[in-house]
Amino acid sequence: MVVLHALSDFIDCDFANGDSSCSYWYEGRCPQSGDCLKLPRTSMSEAITHGLMQYLANNDCYSREGKMYGILLVELPNGEQRVLKAFSGLLNGCSVVEGWVPPIPGRDEVAFEEARTLAELDAIKQEIITLKQLTERQQYEILFNDFEQQLQAMSDRHRYCKHQRQEKRQQICNTLSPEALTIALEQLDEESRQQGIERRQLKRQQNAVLQPLQQLITATDTRISELKRQRKALSCELQAKMHASYSLTNFSGRSQSLQELMPGGSPTGTGDCCAPKLLHYAATHNLKPLAMAEFWWGVSSVNQDKIPGKFYGACAERCQPLMGFLLSGLKPPLPAREKGVRSPFPDRGRVWGEVTLPIIYEDEWLIAVNKPAGLLSVPGRYRDRQDSVLSRLRHLLPDSMELLSVHRLDQETSGILLLARDRQTHRQLSQQFQQRQVHKVYEAILSGVLTVEQGKIDLPLWGDPENRPDQKVDWHYGKPSLTHFQVIAIEGDYTRVEFTPLTGRTHQLRVHAADAQGLGIIILGDHLYGCRAATSRLHLHARELRFEHPQLEKTLHLQVNTPF
């Protein structure tokens, strides 16, 4: 089976000798030496991946299910470069597909068990689908709504009659004789009782009709829950058997099972991801890895947060814990170099690997950088989200462990980010942000034509608990959020606009632009809030920042060019 591919299958020959800058590191510590081992995702590996994406786009079979794909650029013993490609899990139900890296050894040993379990799981899935489509569910909803409408109409009529009776009681108390009044009041009370009987009869009728349906639906839901428990148990049992039989080999020639590598247990799918499959194949075929890249392709109801065509790093639960072992045997990379780059201030650019992080202002109290899109402001919670402006600067600058981020920009937003070099400066600058004394200007491109020249958006924002990290307009719980906007230019089907936020809520500009109560036009490239355009980035840039320097007691007005 042909697995090694020529570079020309994905990119033209001119690019092969071009830019090799790094945008991400696959990394882990060697279990024996403790050395930090790294493998880059370079611009060249990304270009190869884009070539693979074009191939996937031209073949419908790859869009039927969403999954992670990856490539590994390798060097043969004779110095020639080739490409390996892999998919996570199964591809259209198959583990071995011509032209793709095969699964890690061990799957064959449990192939029969896997086939039997997968058949059981499919049967469970089909039963769950059938149960969820129970016709009595729709019937119950229709009848329930019908009874509710009847009860509401009856309540309205009874309320009107009660009001009429009250008025009549007031009238007859002053006009009828005592005997006639007694009879009239009894008639009114009887009318009230009859209406109460009428309501109770309708409720009894409702219960008689709906209760059997509700019992059937409850029994069905109980069965669905039981099937889901069976499905989980079967999956875990199969996964345990596979992990005991899976054997990974690293570049030192050492082999271990997944069970040995992760004795505390591992999530479903560990060992089936692209990175382990690619690195294991390279290690067992005397291929030197040069660069790797992974991306998501296709649509999946399970991973709705994944964006087709976007690059992703090693997943924190399945791949990252294996990286140190898999990369063992490779030489540790040279430490990151410092060199001058083009920036508004000469010799103030810093380099992380080969990725530039321009410093636009620096003194003994604070530092301001022009953050590129795609880079976190501060490290995240998990291992695959440690690369950030803060961690890079702490790595590169002398005596920078006290460095603190004063504010944050979204990962996909570029522009000016301010950091303090001591706690006192951090506290003073943070206070200016909190008291809205900092003037911020953003530039964005909207994915449509805005007909209003300027104005303000005053919509309260609240974190959506069902879809984190999304924010939404919420008039009950939302925090006050105010943005001024000014159209800069209409550019074809798009609008270039300037935003001046007076508050600093999470995703404020993105929601104020996208929400129908705001501008009603999504920022170009904002896939989180519904933009479907094929763009390489979010078109939102923090262009200006004006504030009072806490120590120098002067106004600093920082500005950078918009990169789009």
Q: How many helices (H) and strands (E) does the chain have?
A: 11, 21
pTM, to two decimals: 0.44
Give the confidence band of 185 by pLDDT, cuts at 50, 70, 90. very high
Residue-level pLDDT at 482: 95
Least confident of 343-357, 363-377, 495-509: 343-357
The one catalytic residue among 387, 410, 515, 526:
410
Residue range 67-99, pLDDT digits in tens = 999 999 999 988 889 999 999 988 888 888 999
Residue range 271-318, pLDDT digits in tens = 678 999 999 999 999 999 999 999 999 875 554 567 888 898 887 777
Residue 381 corresponds to which tokens in the numbers above? 């919670």
Tell me whether residue 146 is one of the annotated catalytic residues: no
Give the confidence band of 346 by pLDDT, cuts at 50, 70, 90. very low
Residues 338-346: contacts with CB within 8 Å, 24+ apart? 338/396, 343/370, 344/560
Does residue 553 surpass a pLDDT of 60? yes
Residue-level pLDDT at 182: 92
Which residues, 6+ apart, have CB-to-CB distance to 43 below 8 Å?
18, 19, 20, 21, 22, 23
Extended beta strands in 187-314, E state: 247-249, 255-257, 288-297, 311-312
Does residue 422 surpass a pLDDT of 80? yes
Higher pLDDT, 186 or 343: 186
Residue 66 identity (one-letter amino acid): G
Residue range 102-155, pLDDT digits in tens = 988 765 666 677 778 888 988 999 999 999 889 998 899 999 999 999 999 999
Least confident of 158-167, 254-263, 404-413, 475-484: 254-263
Mean pLDDT across the stretch 220-239? 88
Share of the chain above pLDDT 70, in %: 87
Residue-level pLDDT at 416: 96
Residue range 423-435, pLDDT digits in tens = 899 999 999 999 9
Higher pLDDT, 267 or 46: 46
Does residue 168 surpass a pLDDT of 80? yes
Does residue 492 surpass a pLDDT of 60? yes
Mean pLDDT across the stretch 336-350? 33
Mean pLDDT across the stretch 488-498? 92
Q: Are 380 and 316 in contact (CB under 8 A)?
A: no
Share of the chain above pLDDT 90, in %: 49
Residue 119 corresponds to which tokens in the numbers above? 């058949």
Residue-level pLDDT at 400: 54
Q: Are 107 and 95 in contact (CB under 8 A)?
A: yes
Positive/negative CA dihedral, 141, 146, 147, 151 = positive
Mean pLDDT across the stretch 347-360? 54
Residue 101 corresponds to which tokens in the numbers above? 């890296």
Phi and psi of 320, rounded to 5°? Answer: -55, -40
Residue-level pLDDT at 142: 93
